[in-house]
Amino acid sequence: MRVRVLLIGILMLSASLAGCFTNDAPPPPPPKPTLPDGVFITGPDGESLSLDLYQPLNLNFVFSNVGEEGAEPSIGVTSSGCIFFIAFEKVMRSCDHAESWENVAGPMCAFQTNDPWGWVDPITDRVFNVQMQGLETSWICYSDDDGATWVGNPHDSGTTPINDHIKLATGPWTSSGYGIGGQFTQAYYETAVYYCYNKLVGIFCFTSFDGGATFNTGGLIFGLATTNGGLHGAITSAPDGTVYVTPRVATPTVIVSDDNGLTWFDRTMGEDVGTPNPRKNSEVATDTESNAYHIWTGADEGVYMSRSTNSGETWEQTSIRISPSEVISTVFPQIDAGDPGRIAVTYLGSENASELNRSDIDGEPWDGNAHYAPANVSYYLYITYSLNALDPAPVFHTVRVSPDPVQVGSICLNSGDCRDIGGSNRNLLDFNDLHIDREGRVYVAFADGCTDSCASGNNSTPEDSRSRLGSVYFLGSGPSLFESVGDLAEFEN
């Protein structure tokens, strides 16, 4: 009996000592999930959301070098799948999913221009190429056969200078105003064609009844807004026929017409985050149910949005931040929408938290304004998706798309020849562009200012970043902005 007790005691002692000779500590917890560099999931304040609740969208983007200079590009896609990239005097077309490009402008439309604009009518497939001729006349060309042939007509802006910042778009006719059933009875093209430009006294917009051949009705819609005459962004028309134009003003504002341009009214929004001058090219997109989304660069240099669900009559006065808080400087925001709440936004942005000041310019610390960015700041192309942008707390999925900078140093935000560190920083001009095709696939047109050795070098300077190469990114695979389409697959050439 005593032997048994001793044996049990020895066994208990050996068991108690086992921990002294082996590692019984619990295994370390698995590392918390993190996003890849350059990928962000954020809420309506720009702050990161928990990966325990949200997973990144599968967004795969494909790059294409257009092969020509392309500052201030416009992009559109016809139902045949041909992509049109319009910048300067060239109309670049690709009908093989951006594998190759050719200039199809032809002699009718290949003018030297200061302010080109391109548009593809999503209803009729008519491709427009608008070229500014001097400061008094524009030449409006269009093609109904994917750029094989063109028709062109001049549009005289009258004797009051200056005809500048030209824009064109199309949209459905309404049942009032200039629309069918309104006060005018004449032959109508299938869609209304709108043409706007800036003069020193304000913004002028005209409506064409014959598909862009003539513009005989319209006039001043917004008076002198700034010393730049109220320079405006792109024209947008909703499925219900509501038309939107965005002026250059300190408080985010949209000019709206619900009668095909016969009358206009304006609305302000997002006054919690004002827009400092100089600032241009805020933009509105509308979805398939005519909800409107207005975006702009705010006072803290992030991209913000206000929404309207009643055809522009009222807008949210508390704006939503689209860009991640880590992106401390943004320029050239562009947007398009598919089904309700499904939007895509692009912009140039920088995550450089530079501690340099602008002592060589004004001695003040940098506040994120791209116009005064220090020499060590790099700008990349970003694309942001939201599939629930109408929700009270939408989720934004952002990808830093370009692997190397689009611009090193500052980006001019004024008209004219801006000069800064490294010579003229006016190389990118005023805007980029984003549009979706009939499948809801996103296409982005931009000018790349940092190419060749600038892109490959580790110590590139603003002097190295003065290119303006025409470039395109499009969604290779990922969610369509049309819910019924689902996920899009890569093209098979």
**pLDDT tens column, 183-202:** 555 668 999 999 998 877 78
The pLDDT confidence band at residue 77, using thresholds 50, 70 and 90, is very high
Assess if residue 438 is contained within a domain: yes
Q: What is the pLDDT of residue 183?
A: 56
Q: What is the pLDDT of residue 12?
A: 39
Contacts of 466 (CB under 8 A, 6+ apart): 422, 423, 424, 425, 427, 449
Type of residue numbered 368: G
Assess if residue 186 is contained within a domain: yes
The predicted model scores a pTM of 0.91
Number of domains observed in the structure of the chain: 1
Assess if residue 28 is contained within a domain: no
The yes-or-no verdict on residue 9 having pLDDT over 50 is no
Q: What is the DSSP letter of 370?
A: G
Q: What is the pLDDT of residue 5?
A: 40
Q: What is the DSSP letter of 463?
A: G
Assess if residue 203 is contained within a domain: yes
The yes-or-no verdict on residue 1 having pLDDT over 50 is no
**pLDDT tens per residue, range 288-318:** 999 999 999 998 899 999 999 999 999 999 9
Q: What is the DSSP letter of 106?
A: H
Distance CA 317, CA 263 (A): 24
The pLDDT confidence band at residue 32, using thresholds 50, 70 and 90, is confident
CATH value at residue 62: 2.120.10.30
Q: What is the pLDDT of residue 188?
A: 85
Q: What is the pLDDT of residue 139?
A: 85
User: Token match 């999931």: residue?
Assistant: 41
Q: What is the Cα Rg of the chain in Å?
A: 27
Distance CA 317, CA 325 (A): 20
Q: What is the pLDDT of residue 302?
A: 93
Type of residue numbered 61: F
- Cβ atoms of 198 and 161 within 8 Å: the answer is no
H or E segment to which residue 456 belongs: helix 453-456
Assess if residue 3 is contained within a domain: no
Assess if residue 397 is contained within a domain: yes
> Average pLDDT of the chain?
86
Assess if residue 148 is contained within a domain: yes
Question: Buried b vs exposed e over 50-61: b needs ≥16 C-beta within 10 Å?
Answer: eeeeeeebebeb
Helices H / strands E in the chain, number of each:
3, 33
Q: Where are the beta strands (DSSP E) in 224-328?
A: 235-237, 243-245, 253-257, 265-268, 283-286, 292-297, 303-308, 320-321
Domain with 200 in it:
40-488
**pLDDT tens per residue, range 436-454:** 999 999 999 999 999 999 9
**pLDDT tens per residue, range 93-135:** 999 999 999 999 988 776 666 678 999 999 999 999 998 776 6
Distance CA 464, CA 408 (A): 8
H or E segment to which residue 17 belongs: helix 2-21
Q: What is the pLDDT of residue 415?
A: 64
Sheet holding 292-297, edge to edge: 283-286, 292-297, 303-308, 320-321
Assess if residue 20 is contained within a domain: no
Q: What is the pLDDT of residue 17?
A: 42
